[in-house]
């Protein structure tokens, strides 16, 4: 059930999550984020049990160990998440398969317009960002006023606009 993740694997979390009804319940929020991180992005199987995209195989003791919560806290948080439809689970004798129901809302596929996003595209996007940052730095050094925020520091533009 445990798996090593590479530095290139990630999940998306929308800022609108701060308006989510369980956001202020620390244990429920921790468990939901953990479920997003653990959910598989493609179908597979484990010991003959199949799982789909957005599902993962676990147990209450495993979730407690991985999140730092007690089994009772995990059980309560899981009850919260199930009551509002964030997750569902199928319980077996020694494990359960948890489904993050909104997985596809959070995690879009790696395809855009039916095409696979390539490393070249991602690299060119990063290069464009670096070039934009350098241009902003150069303009600032030459004394030009810049009011647009930096991609790396969203508050930089606010500071520059105020200084002028």
75 occurs within a structural domain: yes
Residue 112 lies in a domain: no
- Is residue 6 included in any domain, yes or no? no
pLDDT in tens, 37-89: 999 989 999 999 999 999 999 999 999 999 999 999 999 999 999 999 999 99
Q: What residues make up the domain containing 127?
A: 121-163
CATH number at residue 63: 1.10.10.10
pLDDT of residue 143: 65
User: Are 102 and 127 members of one domain?
Assistant: no
Judgement on whether residues 127 and 96 belong to the same structural domain of the protein = no
List Cβ neighbours of 152 (8 Å cut-off, separation of 6 or more): 133
Token digits of residue 33: 């984020």
- How far does Cα 23 stand from its chain's mean position? 15
Structural domain contains residue 42: yes
More confident: 74 or 20: 74
Q: Is the pLDDT of residue 141 over 90?
A: no
Please tell me the total count of domains within the chain.
2
Question: Exposed (0-12), middle (13-18) or buried (19+): which is 74, by Cβ within 10 Å?
Answer: buried
| Beta-bridge partner residues of 51 | 44
| Residue 11 pLDDT | 81
């Amino acid at each position: 059930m445990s798996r090593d993740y590479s530095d290139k694997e990630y999940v998306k979390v929308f800022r609108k999550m701060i308006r989510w009804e369980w956001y202020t319940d620390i244990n429920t929020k921790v468990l939901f984020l953990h479920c997003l991180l653990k959910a598989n992005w493609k179908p597979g199987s484990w010991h003959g049990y199949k799982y789909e995209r957005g599902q993962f195989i676990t147990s209450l003791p495993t979730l407690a160990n991985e999140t730092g919560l007690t089994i009772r806290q995990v059980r309560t948080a899981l009850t919260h998440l199930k009551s509002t439809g964030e997750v569902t689970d199928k319980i077996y004798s020694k494990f359960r398969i948890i489904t993050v129901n909104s997985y596809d809302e959070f995690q879009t596929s790696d395809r855009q317009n039916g095409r696979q996003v390539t490393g070249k595209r991602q690299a060119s996007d990063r290069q464009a960002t670096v070039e934009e940052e350098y241009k902003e730095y150069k303009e600032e050094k030459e004394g030009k006023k810049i009011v647009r925020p930096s991609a790396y520091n969203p508050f930089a533009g606010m500071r520059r606009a105020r200084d002028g």
